[in-house]
Chains A and B, each alone.
Chain A
Amino acid sequence: MGQPFRFALLLSGVLTLAGPATGRAFAQATADHQYTTADVEAGSRLYVNQCSLCHGPNGDGVNGVDLRRGVFRRSVSDEDLARVITNGIAAAGMPNFRFQPAELNAILAYIRAGFDPSGTPVKVGDPARGRTIFAAKGGCATCHRVEGVGPRTAPDLSDIGAVRTPAALQRSLVDPTSAMLPINRPVRAVTKDGKTIRGRRLNEDTYTVQMIDDQERLVSLVKADLREYEIGKTSPMPPAGRTLSPEEVSDLVAYLLTLKGGL
């Protein structure tokens, strides 16, 4: 591993591990999309008094629901959850709660933070709006593929809602480079005869690399046959915050959470 590469790795490691202390820029970038720590703490107190009798201290007291892990019977968005809390579900024996808007906000924050005051409470918007943004304004569909539709240049997202938390999805949207999984990093290779190949890494070992190139061809390269070999550290995906409002990002998160694979 070359020196510059290692240095970049070190930087990203520090950012991840040091969290709030040195991750201020990231915190700033994501603040609009999150509830506050004060919300989460207030929600924690409300939850213990108002909700835990039925839902239990870990949020899994009701069959088919795991509030801490974001498993709900019908709800997807924060709006859905707010409606259920406000209206109750008579048939299931859940009463209706008359919370102030700030209190409701706090309970949602506590649920979205995974019951963890140091967790990341992500706002989850409307999935139908998110679907539209995905296809149009967000430009996501120009690179990503969902359920057999769209290009293969970027990772297929058909099951992304099953394998990522809301916080991870939000991070990927707002700061794609810091959230990019190492395996997905872009590859640039130059063969001995001068041909340049670009693509997305699929697998790698000491001697070879497998990738899908920008023409969507599966390519396997022997490193010893290359003149240059470079793993990019910057995600080719533009940060969503440049073109989308915080509400639109929360809608996209909501849509992505509905993609559960299962084909």
Chain B
Amino acid sequence: MALPKPFRFALLLAVVAVASLQLDAQVTSDRILKAAAEPQNWLTYNGTYSSQRYSTLAQITPDNVATLESKWVLQNQVFGAWQSNPIVVDGVMYLTERPNDVMAVDAKTGRMYWLYRWTPSPDARVCCGANNRGVAILGDTLFTGTLDGHLIALDAKNGKPLWNVTVADVKLAYSITLAPLIIKDKVIVGVGGGEFGIRGFVAAFDPKTGKELWRFHAIPEPGEKGHDSWREDHWKSGGGSVWVTGSYDPDLNLTYWGIGNPGPDWNPFQRPGDNLFTDSVVALDADTGELKWHFQFTPNDGYDYDSVQVPVLADINWRGTPTKAMMWANRNGYFYVLDRRTGKFLLGEPFVKVNWASGLDANGRPIQTRQPAGMPTYPGNQGGTNWYPPSFSPRTGLFYFSAWENYGTIYRPEEATYQPGRNFSGGGFAVAAPVPGAPTIGIGRRGPINNWTDEVGNGAVMAMDPQTGKAKWKVTQFDVTDGGMLTTGSDLLFTGGREGYFHALDARTGKLLWKTSLGGQIVMAPVTFEVDGKQYVSVISGSALFTFALRDN
């Protein structure tokens, strides 16, 4: 239907006016610093620098959550697990889809402003799918990493590239799958490739030019601190990938990053020593990249226990003492509380069955108990938890995350030979199953029929009390889950799982308040934002992004 001309012009004016309002506000580094003060937006991968994934928005409450309804759906154009985490800036949602598409979408209607496509080099190699977890924004520029190791700056208004630099060599199987982090005048990224004998790093770039400003080697070279935790030349292919976005404490000016597994993954005998800084959290000076402290969760790891979980920061009263805490549910099955000023170990308790260690010593170092060949190790290869973003609610004082219970794997270490850009995993593993040949859990959901069942592991939403290291409550799921967490100012907890259910739980009790079956695996964390006074919650399930809000009156 054609509109009359004057009306069309008026409409155009109105659109321009609205668009200008929405798009003109610059995302300064100061706004990112104070992101918690503008809960209508979701400005960074983890929401705020503390990475609590807690929003003060409270329009949706335990009382009205049952009236949530779907407002719009964005269908993915590509196949495969969709781990992307949208950011939302003044009514515009920016997100990525496989392999390296970036899009700008109206957060209220789901209609698209622009789509940018980058085709990664055919040399790109990733262990676990063509994943990308999202973008960062500074000013009106977006930043995105690619599977072939590029960092690209895009004009946020039209999706056109402003610069494109090579961060690492794709032929050596370096990749970028995480969402970059902006700190002041720097864009910070890390590299993936832990199954290919890379030497991982975190690096900062000039947002105007893409020029590299500093680089922290996750695997120290001769002369660097921690190098003596390696023998011979093993450090050169030592792994230490960085594939989940870190956090930042502006008062301490420290940025915290989780470091991935050592290479080769499953053969620790081939690389004696602690293998720093694999499976560690590192605290870096945000201006220089200088290492201030580190804490290693799993020395000489033989189980692929990447410590790429999101470092969650909170100022809490910990056992009577005001504490600058860092909370961490690790892939190795232990939940930790550290003092984020110094890395001092405060607490570490297992949250699932653990048999690779008999406990932690006074400094948090595990007492390792390797299982005999052919016997299962708990937690299994995918961990007690993994990269799925957790949440901390300052209102409840609880730390929420997805756990895999009763899941073990049998490791088979083998000598691996490093060849540039080739798989360097050192053996393999099998999931412990109740019957030989029975189907088992995969890295992603294996289709709509769960024929592996909870007999090879089940999922759980855990509400961890950082005071005790014990779960205050947990809600189990029949299948395992890769769902991230979101908490709100009305004590709601939103999450999902591989079964395709999207849940709202009471964050205080775990009581199920609302659920809907979206049908596809949820392998990201939901986000919440507000447009025109209405609170929305977005979640990706399968190959579609769903956005919910309360029913209109």
Contact = CB atoms under 8 A, between A and B. Distances in A.
A9 B479 contact: no
Contacts of B437: 164-165, 168
A226 interface: no
Interface residues of A, number: 25
Interface string A4-36: 001001001100110100000000000000000
Looking at A168, A179, A183, A202, the one whose CB has the most chain B CB atoms below 10 A away is A183
B435 A205 contact: no
A182 B499 contact: no
A5 to B, nearest CB: 9
Secondary structure call for the B interface: loop
Contacts of B455: 9, 182
Nearest to B475: A206
A135 to B, nearest CB: 26
A179 B437 CA distance: 9
B30 to A, nearest CB: 43
Nearest to B449: A203
Interface in B429-457: 432-439, 448-456
Nearest to B515: A207
B449 A1 contact: no
Contacts of B476: 1, 206
Contacts of B449: 183, 202-203
Contacts of A168: 436-437
Nearest to A177: B435
B516 to A, nearest CB: 11
B501 interface: yes
Contact of B436 (A171, A183, A202): A171
A12 B451 contact: no
Contacts of A204: 450, 453-454, 478
B59 interface: no
- Give the contact-size bracket for chain B: 20 to 34
Contacts, number: 75
A80 B406 CA distance: 45
Interface string A187-207: 000000000000000111111
B477 interface: yes
A10 to B, nearest CB: 9
Given A182-B455, A204-B450, A206-B499, A16 B435 contact: yes
A216 B438 CA distance: 24
Interface in B469-486: 476-479
B112 interface: no
Contacts of A178: 435
A244 interface: no
A168 to B, nearest CB: 5
B374 interface: yes
A241 B453 CA distance: 29
Interface string B489-532: 00000000101010000000000000100000000000000000
B450 A180 contact: no
A176 to B, nearest CB: 11
Contacts of A164: 437
23 contacts: A6-B406, A13-B376, A13-B434, A16-B433, A17-B374, A19-B374, A165-B437, A171-B436, A179-B435, A179-B436, A181-B435, A181-B451, A182-B435, A182-B438, A182-B451, A183-B439, A183-B450, A202-B449, A203-B450, A203-B451, A204-B450, A205-B499, A205-B501
Given A165-B437, A206-B478, 8 more contacts: A1-B454, A16-B436, A178-B435, A182-B438, A183-B450, A203-B449, A205-B479, A206-B477
Interface of B: 374-376, 406, 410, 432-439, 448-456, 458, 476-479, 497, 499, 501, 515
Which 10 residue pairs spanning A and B have beta carbons closest together?
A182-B453, A183-B451, A205-B499, A182-B455, A206-B478, A206-B477, A12-B434, A203-B449, A205-B478, A168-B437
